[in-house]
Chain A
Amino acid sequence: MSFRSVISAVVLLSAGLLVATEPLTKEQVKSAVLSEAVTIPTPGEFFSAMDEQGQPNWTQLYAPKSAGTTSSREQMALMLGVLVADGYIAVEAQDGQGVKNTGKEIINLAKKLNVSQSVLSRGNSINDFAENNDWSALREELEATQNEVKLSMAEQKDKDLVILVTVGAWIRGTQVASDFIAKNYSPGLAGLLRQPAIVEYLLAELAKLPDRMQKQPLVAEVEQKLKDIINLVHTKDRTPPAPDAVNAVAATMDSLVNDIAKGSKEP
């Protein structure tokens, strides 16, 4: 960008432009694009907002999950998402060794899912940034790693697993957040759980999975429990969820994370 452009930018900004505009029509709202890469926030965004509202002790909240032994690719994809969220928690806790350990788990699980070599090199970057305590770069690297895993899955015809990675990360982020909020309730913090559009999006994407995947006990459990909580996070008049609702979300997310880590019971 040229110096002239910079000056122009500053002038425009200092004018405080805010153009009055008409509301969107119902048709425009309906036609809005949903793009997973930008429509669904990262756990890092969620945690950043928690920092503003409640100042959690991230070191206490960092209790990473380990992937149990499984041959289920669906479970591995969900667990990959859980680990990505754990990586963000380790970054918030500024726990360099924790980030490295979680990064290693992510790469090991990604290898089992046969992702490309380019993803594996991300593990080295995570280590390097953790070594240098570069927390901002680590947040970007975690998202980039997750996106590259998803891209690699899509390229090798594992496209259906991609949404499960997103779901796993959201569940883990929401578990940690709702547990903290349940123990430190305030309307401001509880308002962060008001995410009906995200739950609706995840449910709509899960409904597109092939039948054989939807019938997998763990995937079916995830789908059912997301349906169970949607009304709890869909409050009227933009009000925050009540304490009982937060407790219910925390309990549901907790049981889901445990089942993802160990595998759901067979029907």
Chain B
Amino acid sequence: MKTPIIFFLSACLLTAQETPDSRDRGTSRSKVLELAGAFANDGYKIRDGYWSGVLEPGKPQILEVNLFAGNAYWFCAAALAPAKKLSVTLFDENGRPVEGEVFQDGSTSAAGLLPDVSGRYFVRLELVEGDKAEFSLVYSYK
């Protein structure tokens, strides 16, 4: 997951395959699918299901997920204005932060992980800068 990601992401963000449904255009979901589409170009399969809500400063949202060792994952999130900066952080089943890669670009953010053990993990989504805003999160795996 490490070395080629710099190269593939630069190319892929320009040619992202995932075309958001016209009904979603201008939403946080369309924005997050644009980011996740970049990973799809590297063989990641995007889950159809997504998580959305409202993010407020100082009130991170935490999602429980179940991951399999052997797969690689990217958790992508996006928020609309007035959100300015988001962060995505991953934790193991005991709530300890896990090592992985991160991507951050204003109000879009992503965290990548190669879990060494299958089971429960947590994804924390935090508004680092900006005001209360709608967000969406999707993940992809390969």
> Could you list which residues of chain A lie within 8 angstroms of chain B, going by C-beta atoms?
1, 3, 5-10, 12-14, 16-26, 28-29, 31-42, 44-46, 48-53, 136, 139-140, 143-144, 147, 188, 191-198, 238
26 intermolecular pairs with C-beta atoms under 8 Å apart: A1-B13, A1-B16, A5-B106, A8-B105, A9-B103, A13-B5, A13-B103, A19-B89, A20-B97, A23-B91, A23-B94, A28-B124, A29-B62, A38-B65, A38-B139, A41-B66, A42-B47, A44-B45, A48-B68, A139-B45, A143-B47, A191-B117, A194-B119, A195-B118, A195-B119, A197-B120
| Nearest 9 pairs of A and B residues by beta carbon | A37-B49, A52-B70, A24-B95, A49-B68, A197-B120, A49-B70, A143-B48, A32-B64, A32-B62
Q: Are B97 and A21 in contact (CB under 8 A)?
A: yes
- Which residues, 31 to 60 on B, are CB-close (under 8 Å) to A? 34-35, 45-51, 60
Provide the bound-state CA to CA distance between A257 and B87, in Å: 42
Instruction: List 15 other contacts, CB 8 Å, given A1-B34, A36-B49.
Output: A5-B105, A6-B14, A10-B6, A13-B101, A14-B6, A23-B91, A24-B122, A38-B49, A44-B45, A48-B68, A50-B70, A52-B71, A140-B46, A147-B49, A197-B119
Query: Chain A interface mostly helix, strand, loop or mixed?
Result: helix
> Could you list which residues of chain B lie within 8 angstroms of chain A, going by C-beta atoms?
5-6, 9-10, 13-14, 16, 34-35, 45-51, 60-71, 87, 89, 91, 93-97, 99-106, 108, 117-120, 122, 124, 137-139, 141-142
Q: B97 touches which one: A9, A23, A34 (CB < 8 A)? A: A23
CB contact under 8 A between A3 and B118, given known A16-B101, A32-B62, A136-B45: no
Provide the bound-state CA to CA distance between A169 and B125, in Å: 29
CB contact under 8 A between A32 and B46, given known A9-B10, A9-B13, A53-B70: no
Q: Are A10 and B66 in contact (CB under 8 A)?
A: no
CB contact under 8 A between A191 and B6, given known A24-B91, A143-B47: no
Q: For residue B94, which residues in chain A have a CB less than 8 angstroms away from its CB?
A: 23
